[in-house]
Amino acid sequence: MVHQNAGLLDQRMAVEWVRDNIEAFGGDPSRITLFGESAGGISVDLYTYAWTKDPIINGFIAMSGTALLRVASVTPGNFSAWYGVSKKLGCGGEEKGKDTLACMQKQKFEDILASFKGQTDFSSPNPFGVYPDNQTAWHDYFELGRKGQFIKRVRHWSFAKRLTC
């Protein structure tokens, strides 16, 4: 099965790259801040729950978007929109398994965006949204927040944490 939240895993890979290369640009790997606004804020906040054991990031700014706003808009197991796009780009569908993701990762973003045109199997307002997999996203952020199961840093602020802590 393809990991539905591949974009969140890509975000982590980007953070690791920054950690490993920031000194070459005059930066400090112990002072990395992740910032996002709106959907980016949701993504930043999702990160604070996903990588509690190895955060890398020192500061978080989730502006106008939190994990609490993330609603599972994709039914787990319903990948029709994803496979519709992957087939249009010649990457196959479910039958190709992980090869589909590998092929899609090689596509130009312009081609991926263009492949959305005419797509009719979008089963929800956001068919490519994050869904709970208990690795990168969860069902109940209120409960996780109540239990303190998120990355805690001095420079961490988000609306979600203000409500739950």
Catalytic residue annotation = 38
If we measure between CA atoms, which residue out of 14, 36, 28, 45 comes closest to residue 160? 45
Token pair 């929109």: residue: 81
SS3 26: coil
Q: What is the C-alpha separation between 125 and 108, in angstroms, rounded?
A: 24
